Structure 1
């Protein structure tokens, strides 16, 4: 297979979802990083939404991480989705929930006042409580095998690990099953290798430049 071309931003959690899938399934790919605050014209010309990730594959341009991951999964068996239609739909629904949790986490990380931090922290905690009720398997979302739900949530857990040192509470205190799942995913080699080597420094530096109250 000709290596796929993934266009990325070094801190984007949605891109990271696709990188985890590519690495776990051992799909040959090249990655090109751009600056989202100053995207090149060639990128804007090919990205309908002006966002990453964008994947160049088979002469086509694919966008949106969930769509890209579905494509990657379909071209390289075995599938990272459950076998039945209802379980696939169930997993896709929780991937969407993960996208909403990522947004809540971003709003917490970039909150600029103590009041905003408290509001967004409560929102994240509420979503983690909902997630806790859904987790019935170990070590991963569906059990023994990594799935696309896992690749969708791993970026959240990686950022939570970095943010935890700045939070006044243990974010997983009331969600032990989420904690166990997070620890399992952070131990996966494909997850560990899915970001640039200086990701922690870049992430905290981004928060400082965003005037995040947490890292002041």
Structure 2
């Protein structure tokens, strides 16, 4: 690749983490710039039509939407993370979409206004992960021995649980042995660990507290957020 690469990110964005993981897995040299989405700079708004992260700046061209960025990196860089067979590639793309739906359910969980809604959102998440349990084999990755884009997509999903588990026992992954093993393998992967800064756990804890919902009421005050550090 001859163009310079810059990943424009936000400290907590799970979609940014997907791209950071893939760039690391493929060994693509790049710069990473973090923006504050609460005070978006003009240069960022000029790059991102929707005012969201991630943005991948490739030379003078800015790409947005994580799914499109992942596909570009697959097309433009060596060491593919998609399987070579068209049918299996399509299946992986479907599970990438499922991973995005899991993130939507996680947002509903941490935004739940009351305990009844929180329990319902936890049950919805558990239902999704029960589906995943039936898709996994002996591991360690989604499709066995080869790390794929599906793994890169689900790693940020599971990272939320490092903080959720410190707040309470919601039973979301109970008894799902294959999912739990997959989660552990992903958490130990160097590219996954490096996809966020050291203060990610603290920042996420403060973010969750500020939601003002049922989950935040279970947490300690923000000034002791280090309890939740990953």
Give the TM-score band, short-chain normalised. Answer: over 0.9
Query: Gaps spanning 5+ residues in structure 1: where?
Result: none
Equivalent residues, number? 216
Q: Which residue of 1 aligns with 2:116?
A: 115
Give runs of aligned pairs for residues 179-190 of structure 1, distance below 5 A: 179-190=180-191
User: Is the Cα contact below 8 Å between 1:164 and 1:171 reproduced in 2?
Assistant: no
Q: Which residue of 2 aligns with 1:11?
A: 12
Of structures 1 and 2, the one with the larger relative CO (CA 8 A, separation 6+) is 1
1:134 alignment partner, SS class: coil
1:103 equivalenced with 2:104 (yes/no): yes
Q: Which residue of 1 aligns with 2:223?
A: none
Task: Please report the RMSD computed on the Cα atoms of aligned residues, expressed in angstroms.
Answer: 1.4
CA distance in 1, matches of 2:205, 2:213: 9
Shift of 1:212: 3.5
CA distance in 2, matches of 1:135, 1:40: 42
Q: TM-score, normalised by structure 2?
A: 0.89
User: Is the Cα contact below 8 Å between 1:107 and 1:120 reproduced in 2?
Assistant: yes
Give runs of aligned pairs for residues 1-216 of structure 1, distance below 5 A: 1-216=2-217
Q: Which moved more, 1:194-203 or 1:135-144?
A: 135-144
What are the superposed Cα offsets for residues 144-198 of structure 1, whole Å, 9 maximum, x if unpaired?
1110000000001111121112233332113211111111111100000100110
User: Is the Cα contact below 8 Å between 2:113 and 2:212 reproduced in 1?
Assistant: yes
Q: TM-score, normalised by structure 1?
A: 0.95
Query: Gaps spanning 5+ residues in structure 2: where?
Result: 218-230
2:37 alignment partner, SS class: coil
User: Is the Cα contact below 8 Å between 1:8 and 1:33 reproduced in 2?
Assistant: yes
Q: Which runs of 4+ in 1 moved over 4 A?
A: none
What are the superposed Cα offsets for residues 97-146 of structure 1, whole Å, 9 maximum, x if unpaired?
00000110121122231112111111111111111111124100111111
